Amino acid sequence: MTSEVRVRFAPSPTGYLHVGGARTALFNWLYARHCKGTFVLRIEDTDKARNSKEAVQVILDGLRWLGMDWDEGPSMGGEYGPYFQSERENIYQRYFDQLEAGGHLYLDNGAWRFRSLREVVVVDDMICGRIEFDLSNHETHPDMTIRRPDGSWIFHFVNVVDDIEMRISHVIRGEDHLSNTPKHLELFKALGKPAPRYAHIPLILNKDGSKMSKRDEGASITSYIDGGFVPEAVKNYLTLLGWSPKDGREKLEIEEVVQLFDLEKVNRKNAHFDIDKCVWLSGQYMSSLTLERFAELCSPFLVGTDAEGLEAAKLQPVLALVKEKVKTFAEVPAAISYFFTEDYSFEPEASEKALNQPGASARLNALATAFEKVADWSPESIEAALKATAVELGVKAGSLVLPTRVAVSGRGSGPSLYHMMEVLGRECSIRRIRQTADSKAA
């Protein structure tokens, strides 16, 4: 017996990675990293009808996006492979023969059933505690099928065989599998092998307490990828679904979670999913991203916009202005659009308030003239010129800010005005102010 911690995530490729599955993967990954053990990825693809390359790819992409690297599994290999159940036929046959030779199996209408040992089975779960399952009643606990008449294998059997073969020390999985565990323990016993420790993680429910289904918002990891969430934030959010540090902090670097994580500290109560908190966390993570990484993660969202393919020198100063204002990368195209087109639209409400005022046009022209004389085009000088113009015109500086903002961006809010004008450039800012004064202001 080795004391090495070996855990596995064992998804069935159904075509999407559910947030609950990703959380199970993450708790396995965290436990492996915490214990300096091994994280195995095993694809449970015995269901031939649903099994496809694309369905597996969705899982691999999701795990990679979340930064959960596996030590053994698809594209990594390892000592106990293959890591696709569909490629382990002869291993299953060997274990099947052993069970048959031991008198544990019988044929029933072409299917093979395992003769239950008819005992009280104790599951000593690291999260749920000690639970007794009385399997003595044949009516309530019929003998499980392990092989179908067409020769294909049933989940319970291959799952146990692989946990034996892959030397799994801890099975960490969703609580929906708790009722399967006594059956699995019977198989371990019949095969004469020690069972792993079990840790069943409570379910993830919707905010209203209903069970999370495939169609619920945030249920699929692909929706976070496509929705432009910061991957580190989603990973952080998933850790909070059933676990939290003693001091209740919510934003935690993953290295710290790896240090603090333990199965005994996983909450026994069901977790409640809150998409708004996940969006909020994503926004919180924007400030910790370097500008380079922010730009890299933005780039798929800029495809098809005026900002697509722009050189870093043009794009990055603009991205720097909005980086901490957006919560997801999907918000970036709209937040920066007016930087890259002269055809920017004007928000009606902001225009009405800022431009449709007596004398607005004259004030904008006075500002443009002042900006033409600014020696160096820095935020400080731009601000000074605006303030000096206010004094000249006998108005409050504050009253010039909104009209200028609306003139150069078309919007009532956005990044700091002076920094925004610095990035737009002198020529562009002045041109936009004059044009607005001529065509839109009263």
The residues assigned a catalytic role are 214
Find the binder of ligand GLU among 38, 51, 116, 159 (CB under 6 A): 159
Smallest gap from Cβ 42 to ligand GLU, in A, equals 8
DSSP conformation class of 340: S
- Other Cβ atoms less than 10 A from the Cβ of 287: the count is 9
Q: Which is nearer to ligand GLU, 17 or 307 (CB)?
A: 17
Judged by CB under 6 A, which stretch of 9-17, 257-265, 344-352, 398-406 contacts ligand GLU? 9-17
Q: How far is the CB of 146 from ligand GLU (least distance, A)?
A: 15
173 binds ligand GLU (CB under 6 A): yes
Round to whole Å and give the CA distance between 263 and 280: 27
Smallest separation, CB 18 to ligand GLU (Å): 9
DSSP label of 43: B
Q: Are 15 and 58 in contact (CB under 8 A)?
A: yes
Contact flag: residue 197 with ligand GLU (CB under 6 A): no
* Ramachandran quadrant class, 71 (left: phi over 0; alpha: psi -120 to 50; beta: rest): alpha
Burial (CB < 10 A; 0-12, 13-18, 19+), residue 197, is: middle
> How are beta strands 129-134 and 120-125 bridged, if at all?
antiparallel
Cβ partners under 8 Å of residue 184, min gap 6: 156, 159, 160, 163, 195
- Residue count at the site for ligand GLU (CB under 6 A)? 8
CA distances from 242 to 205, 212, 262, 423 (A): 11, 15, 11, 44
CB of 12 to ligand GLU, least distance (A): 4
Q: Which stretch binds ligand GLU (CB under 6 A): 59-67, 76-84, 171-179, 432-440?
A: 171-179
CA distance 409 to 432: 8
Cβ proximity to ligand GLU: between 171 and 281 the closer is 171
Tell me whether residue 88 or residue 173 sits nearer to ligand GLU (CB atom). 173
Among 18, 33, 39, 44, binds ligand GLU (CB under 6 A): 44
10 binds ligand GLU per the rule CB under 6 A? yes
- Using CA atoms, how far residue 33 sits from 181, 221, 255, 360, in Å, is 25, 22, 9, 62
Q: Do the Cβ atoms of 46 and 247 come closer than 8 Å?
A: no
Residues 384-423 that bind ligand GLU (CB under 6 A): none
Beta carbon of residue 71, minimum distance to ligand GLU (angstroms, whole number): 17
Task: State which residue, 43 or 321, has the beta carbon closest to ligand GLU.
Answer: 43
Examine residue 113 and tell whether it contacts ligand GLU (CB under 6 A): no
Residue number with CB closer to ligand GLU (10 or 279)? 10
Cβ-contact 318, 367 below 8 angstroms:
no
φ, ψ (nearest 5 deg) of residue 173:
-155, 175
Structure tokens at 173: 């999985």
Closer residue to ligand GLU in complex, CB, 89/250? 89
11 binds ligand GLU (CB under 6 A): yes
Closest separation between CB of residue 10 and ligand GLU, Å?
4
Residue 39 backbone dihedrals phi, psi, to 5 degrees: -105, 115
Q: Is 177 in the site for ligand GLU (CB under 6 A)?
A: yes
Q: Which is nearer to ligand GLU, 172 or 230 (CB)?
A: 172
Query: Residue 57, Cβ neighbours under 10 Å: how many?
Result: 12
Query: Would you put residue 197 in left (φ > 0), alpha (ψ -120 to 50) or beta?
Result: beta
Coil, helix or strand at residue 42: coil
- Asked if 212 interacts with ligand GLU (CB under 6 A), we say no
Q: How far is the CB of 31 from ligand GLU (least distance, A)?
A: 13
Give the binding site for ligand GLU (CB under 6 A).
Answer: 10-12, 44, 159, 171, 173, 177
